Amino acid sequence: MLDYAGVLAQDIPGITISANVGEQWTQGMSTLEALKASGRLGAVVIVGLGTNGPVSATQFNSMMTVLAGASRVVFVNDHVDRTWQDPNNAVLAAGVSRYPNTVLADWNSLADQHPTWFYPTGTHLPPESTGAQALAALVASMA
């Protein structure tokens, strides 16, 4: 999320963004729990986790327990050259199908069509770049 945080903040004025290098699913859940406990969790939540490691269906369900009461949750699927990309994306798609207040931003499909958007790693985007703008626009359109 760090790659497109600046552009996303322009696309969704007033958004609170919490993004950290190498953040794992469990760390993201802890952040969301803290935001909820402090009354700072919005009605619309965007979850862009999974690039840095595997995600299970149990973890997805736990996330949705934390996000109970959110009117809309946008999950951004993974585009990463790692063995967990496809399993994570399957977990996200299956999870979204079970919760009516959730949607899936299919970043992986869009990213596959535009490999030149990325740094040589194929995962990260230059900030403020065309790819970052496209990802922010995708997410904002679903929020």
- In tens, the pLDDT along 121-130 reads 888 999 889 9
Please give the model's pTM, rounded to 2 decimal places.
0.93
57-111, pLDDT tens digit by residue? Answer: 999 999 999 999 999 999 999 999 999 999 999 999 999 999 999 999 999 999 9
If one counts every other C-beta atom within 10 angstroms of the C-beta of residue 131, the result is: 25
Domains of the chain by start residue, with CATH:
5-13+44-142 (3.40.50)
